[in-house]
Amino acid sequence: MSLFTPLRGLIGGGLIGLSASVLLLGAGEIMGASGIASCILHPIKTISTPSHHWKVCFLAAFFIVAKTLATMENTSSTFDPQLTRDPNLPVVSALGHVVAGLLVGFGTKLGNGCTTGHGICGLARFSRRSLVNVISFMSTGIISATICGSGCPLATYLRSSHDSFSKLLPTKTSENVALVALVLVFFMAASVQLRTVKKASAENRQFPKSSSADARAREERLNSGRKFFPAAVSGGLFACGLAISGMCKPSKIYGFLDLSGIHRGTWDPTLLCVMASGMTISMIGYQFVKGYGIFGECTCPLALNPSCGRFQIPTNKKIDLELILGGALFGLGWGIGGLCPGPALWLAAPGFRFILYYWIPAFFLGSFLGEKVKTMRS
């Protein structure tokens, strides 16, 4: 239990919950890291669809804050030293990152969420669908991390020696690749905001007395632009929360998921503090939304025009095979790689090689395949 950092877990988790509340109350959107990241899969659709523009802004702010924090803390030299100290903690191989990213991408797309979407946001509104998904991915995450940590035959391929730890760290090349990606996302966010606002403003000047339907359509486009500020604040808070809580360090995830650490005295329940704190703050946010809490008088997000602003809260209550299987596959990948979408994106920002070159591409491929499977089934 010496690795247990409850205060950092509670503070970091609180910031993650605050991030979810800011996005909910400000823009009316749900902070699901896997869903937000998946907008990169379809850049043309994202740019041409105003309702998706806030996701790019969230990612831009998230990457900028993550990159800044990593630079300030010199993360490349201080990253997760516990991995080199404890021989029982795994160093994931390149193949392990590919398998993990693929499973996480496929599972989160099939199950419609991950630790943030279902865990921090779904449990906060007492969604039984989210509860089932969380139980599913927590169970398989614990099983896969514990089995791989106890010397299963597959661990030979999914794990690497501790001497190869340095291969995980950023190089000048990987830092430049990550920087180029960050700049592209930033300019994408700036361009879609300008495009949305300019188009709606031009239409207001050109057709000041058009039909109410046209006016409503223009106002909806303007509302899409109004989501940018709360989305940017939310993205920055999310990045800070992950850094403070330590959830970007695989040792903290393995320390919780690998139950064999209990008898060694190295089990680390910090993740429970992060989830509990994040869910509590997120729950407080829901208390102000009509139909979800005791102060529920708010029917329109704070940053939007009430004429057409609304909360985009999932109403699906169906518990089906896709939900359970998706959660199970996500948990399996989570236990193998020690990463879920939010922390993986954080580590990609400063250019951690195996995450940037293996985990992230595999995650997007898994998301794409999961999307195709869902389309075929429907």
Q: Is residue 32 in some structural domain? A: yes
pLDDT of residue 357: 93
> Residue 166 has what DSSP assignment?
G
Q: Is residue 37 in some structural domain? A: yes
Per residue in 135-166, pLDDT (tens digit) is: 999 999 999 988 876 566 777 788 777 666 77
Q: Is residue 1 in some structural domain? A: no
The per-residue b/e assignment along 120-131, b for 16 or more CB within 10 angstroms, e otherwise, is bbbbbbebebbe
**Total tally of structural domains belonging to the chain:** 1
Q: Is residue 290 in some structural domain? A: yes
pLDDT of residue 80: 76
Q: Are 244 and 65 in contact (CB under 8 A)?
A: no
> Helix 321-337 to helix 94-111 angle, to the nearest 10 degrees?
160
Per residue in 268-315, pLDDT (tens digit) is: 999 999 999 999 999 999 999 988 878 777 889 998 988 888 899 998
Q: Is residue 257 in some structural domain? A: yes
Q: What's the rounded Cα separation, in Å, for the pair 115 and 366?
A: 17
Q: Are 158 and 148 in contact (CB under 8 A)?
A: yes
Percent of the chain with pLDDT over 90: 53
Nearest residue to 175 (alpha-carbon basis) of 273, 250, 75: 75
Q: What's the rounded Cα separation, in Å, for the pair 157 and 109?
A: 26
3-state secondary structure (DSSP) of residue 142: helix
Q: What's the rounded Cα separation, in Å, for the pair 105 and 113?
A: 10
Q: What's the rounded Cα separation, in Å, for the pair 247 and 251?
A: 9
Per residue in 13-48, pLDDT (tens digit) is: 999 999 999 999 999 999 999 989 988 887 777 777
Nearest residue to 341 (alpha-carbon basis) of 352, 354, 351, 330: 330
Per residue in 214-272, pLDDT (tens digit) is: 667 777 778 888 899 999 999 999 999 999 999 998 889 998 999 888 888 888 999 99
Parent domain of 212? 6-377
Work out the number of other CB atoms within 10 angstroms of the CB of residue 368.
16
